[in-house]
Amino acid sequence: MSLIHQTIAVIGAGNIGRALVRGLITGGHIDPSKVRATRRNRNALDILQEKLPGVSLGTDNKEAVKGASVIVLAVKPANWLTVVEEIREFTEPDTLIVSVLAGLTTARIAQEFPANQPVIRTMPNTPMMVYQGATAVCAGNSASDEHLQLVREMFEAVGRVEKVPEYLMDAVTGLSGSGPAYVYMLIEALTDAGVKQGLPRSTAFRLTKQTVLGAAKLADQTDKHPAILRDEVTTPGGTSIAAIAELEQHGLRTMFIHAVATATERSKELSGN
Ligand SMILES: NC(=O)c1ccc[n+]([C@@H]2O[C@H](COP(=O)([O-])OP(=O)(O)OC[C@H]3O[C@@H](n4cnc5c(N)ncnc54)[C@H](OP(=O)(O)O)[C@@H]3O)[C@@H](O)[C@H]2O)c1
């Protein structure tokens, strides 16, 4: 099942759907003529068409899925059932259903299709808009390793991919699905911290962004344990250890552990698990 030979219909060309289509096209992973994408707002589609020449964009979900070998469900969870009711009679038995929907299990999605319809569930995140997404994938009962590999290739066009067992998808949602929000809060807070010390806001913002980006790249490229990387910044009796002591006193680590646990629980609640 090579990606280049698929016909992909993305239902819901919003933040996630649009980023996926753009990644697939700009990376040359698939010919634009083999990609269809829909949303209801025609003005937004016109704007998108300029950015995605050659992709078939429209408001008609039924037309989009006819003859598609892969259907990506990328609407908000509140809209998914309406969409599925609309498209399912135009879906072939071997059409692969790919979901980015938060909180919907592969079993729940498969229930809405004829028996043995292959379903793959994913949990991407918004940095996929700049090709730096972190996406977890898991396969439903009727999906094969080939299906999983195909979806891995699709999301590798916009970042990195991890295969996880489905029971961990709520944890993934709490960690990397919602994770960009935590990092933006960190960026905002550090910028304010710089401003408090007298730095112009624009300077503090640029320094903070580059520090977060650089630290992430260093952690990624060296693959060193973060505690070792932290030690490398920490001179005995110096400034970093003074700040680290403050952060520890305010329970930074416990705060993140509890935040991700709460988000994971919320994901479970939303998915009825
Ligand atoms: N944002 C995140 O951080 C994130 C992370 C992981 C997973 N997700 C999941 O990704 C999905 C999409 O999220 P998003 O942030 O991309 O939302 P979004 O920007 O609101 O995109 C959803 C799109 O669906 C379209 N839509 C709604 N009803 C439709 C219909 N009946 N037919 C065709 N298109 C329809 C909407 O456009 P119109 O209103 O023009 O129709 C909108 O562009 C959600 O299920 C979410 O759980 C999101």
Same fold, 3-169 and 179-271: no
Question: Quick one: CATH architecture of 3-169?
Answer: 3-Layer(aba) Sandwich (3.40)
Q: Tell the residue nearest (CA) to atom 18 of ligand 1.
A: 14
**pLDDT on residue 225:** 97
Give all strands of the β-sheet with 159-163 in edge-to-edge order: 56-58, 35-38, 8-11, 70-73, 96-99, 119-123, 133-139, 159-163
**pLDDT on residue 125:** 98
CATH number of 179-271: 1.10.3730.10
The residue to mutate among 49, 62, 75, 85, having the most atoms of ligand 1 within 8 angstroms of its beta carbon, is: 75
Residue of 97, 64, 70 whose CA lies nearest to 3: 70
| Reported pTM | 0.95
Alpha carbon of 55 to those of 32, 33, 46, 48, 162: distances in Å?
5, 6, 12, 10, 28
Residue of 75, 43, 74, 38 whose CA lies nearest to 58: 38
Confidence band of 61 (pLDDT split at 50, 70, 90):
very high
173: amino acid identity, one letter: T
> How confident is the model over 117-141, as a mean pLDDT?
98
Confidence band of 66 (pLDDT split at 50, 70, 90):
very high
**pLDDT on residue 272:** 72
What is the per-residue pLDDT across 15-32, written as a single tens digit (0 to 9) for each? 999 999 999 999 999 999
Residue 255 CA, ligand 1 centroid: distance in Å: 30
Q: Which residue has the tokens 């790919």?
A: 98
pLDDT exceeds 70 at position 137: yes
Domain range list for the chain: 3-169, 179-271
Share of the chain above pLDDT 70, in %: 100
The ligand 1 atom at the shortest distance from the C-alpha of residue 41 is: 40
Tokens of 178: 């919602």
What is the per-residue pLDDT across 174-215, written as a single tens digit (0 to 9) for each? 999 999 999 999 999 999 999 999 999 999 999 999 999 999
Are 147 and 139 in contact by the 8 Å Cβ rule? The answer is yes
Are 64 and 231 in contact by the 8 Å Cβ rule? The answer is no
3-state secondary structure the chain: CCHHHCCEEEECCCHHHHHHHHHHHHCCCCCHHHEEEECCCHHHHHHHHHHCCCCEEECCHHHHHCCCCEEEECCCHHHHHHHHHHHHHHCCCCCEEEECCCCCCHHHHHHCCCCCCCEEEEECCHHHHHCCEEEEEEECCCCCHHHHHHHHHHHHCCEEEEECCHHHHHHHHHHHHCHHHHHHHHHHHHHHHHHHCCCCHHHHHHHHHHHHHHHHHHHHHHCCCHHHHHHHHCCCCCHHHHHHHHHHHCCHHHHHHHHHHHHHHHHHHHHCC
pLDDT exceeds 80 at position 91: yes
**Mean pLDDT over the full length of the chain:** 96
> How confident is the model over 49-60, as a mean pLDDT?
95
The residue to mutate among 45, 49, 76, having the most atoms of ligand 1 within 8 angstroms of its beta carbon, is: 76
Which residues have C-beta atoms less than 6 Å from ligand 1? 11-17, 38-41, 44, 61, 74-77, 79, 82-83, 100-102, 123-126, 177
Residue 78 CA, ligand 1 centroid: distance in Å: 9
**pLDDT on residue 273:** 60
pLDDT exceeds 80 at position 154: yes
Residue 262 CA, ligand 1 centroid: distance in Å: 23
The residue to mutate among 10, 11, 15, having the most atoms of ligand 1 within 8 angstroms of its beta carbon, is: 15
